[in-house]
Structure 1
Amino acid sequence: MGDDLTVEVREAGAADVETATGLFLGYLDFYGVPAARDPQGAREFLARRIGKGESLVLLADVPGAGTVGFAQVYRAFSSLTLGTAWILNDLYVAPSGRRTGAGRALLREVLRRAREEGVTGVQLETAYDNRVAQGLYESEGFVREEFHVYFHDFGRS
């Protein structure tokens, strides 16, 4: 595994939308989301989140490989903790950046910023069969909750 000290993590701004969109499309494709077939829609979605400050988007740069990963965090309120929590909604590393430490560096930066901002915790979800991601999250202190996640789909794409 790579050493995350060689990975630079930075916050994405308007100038990074194209780069972030390429990674976002890879993420959507990884999860089989039809939006991956609509690059312009995905770009507009991401540009709005970044432009309005509605999400925190981080990018991971690896020397010699370029920008290989991204994370997107949404701020939320937690009734159970009476505070602010973060939802790490998206974390993705392109195949060319895997095993470089980019995923771990992104995750650690999210946690660092969350602590700095005084949030009560960081929540995330991943696929049941995504064992690599589960191993990463658990190695960084995430604990599997005993809650069931439900979703009511209104059929919008």
Structure 2
Amino acid sequence: MDFKIKKAGLEDLDETAGLFDLYRIFYRQASDVEKGKAFLKERLLNNESDIFLAIAEGKAVGFVQLYKLFHYTRLEKQWLLSDLFVHPDYRGKGISVALIDRSKEWCNETNACGLMLETEKTNDIGNNLYPRCEFEYDGLHNYYHWWK
């Protein structure tokens, strides 16, 4: 299957929001396309994230969203690969790997030291994909969250 990867802009907001909603549903969240669309629009308008879309058959079929972070030991910028999703009808065609590869290229283009990510232990797809894409599992750290 032929597909291309492009950097998303505001003109891609509707398609991106549709995929983002499916991604959130995958993580057991209630569907809310409009709220997700507003969230993505704010990220794009404020340059708070960079999103790349996979385009196949004339439509967006996958995306990756990256947030800028800074690494305390390397003293350099790095990217958090926060969100990665491919529509179920297009899985198994190399799109996830292509989105990750484009994220790695983005690190080079922005002089970042690398990518980091976290995923649920139950995400079998991701936990098989990331090592194949040369990510190293970090079993030394515990991740904690505080929510207000």
TM-score > 0.5, shorter chain as reference: yes
Alignment root-mean-square deviation, CA: 1.4
| Equivalent position amino acid for 1:123 in 2 | M
What displacement does 1:117 show?
A: 1.9
Alignment: residue pair count = 147
- 1:106 equivalent in alignment to 2:99: yes
In structure 2, the partner of 1:148 is 142
Q: Is the 8 A contact 1:111 1:122 kept in 2?
A: yes
TM-score by length of structure 1 reads: 0.88
TM-score by length of structure 2 reads: 0.93
Q: Is the 8 A contact 1:70 1:93 kept in 2?
A: yes
Alpha-carbon separation, structure 2, partners of 1:134 and 1:118: 27
What displacement does 1:65 show?
A: 6.8
What displacement does 1:148 show?
A: 0.7
In structure 2, the partner of 1:83 is 76
Identity %: 30
What displacement does 1:7 show?
A: 2.3
Q: Is the 8 A contact 1:19 1:67 kept in 2?
A: yes
Unaligned runs of 5+ in 1: none
Task: For CA contacts below 8 A with separation 6 or more, give which structure has more relative contact order.
Answer: 1
| Equivalent position amino acid for 2:11 in 1 | A
In structure 2, the partner of 1:136 is 129
The structure 1 segments of at least 4 consecutive aligned residues displaced by more than 6 Å after TM superposition are none
| Equivalent position amino acid for 1:85 in 2 | Q
Summarize the alignment of residues 1-157 of structure 1 with structure 2, pairs less than 5 Å apart.
6-34=2-30, 36=31, 38-62=32-56, 64=57, 66-145=59-138, 146-154=140-148
SS at 1:41's partner residue?
helix
What displacement does 1:49 show?
A: 0.7
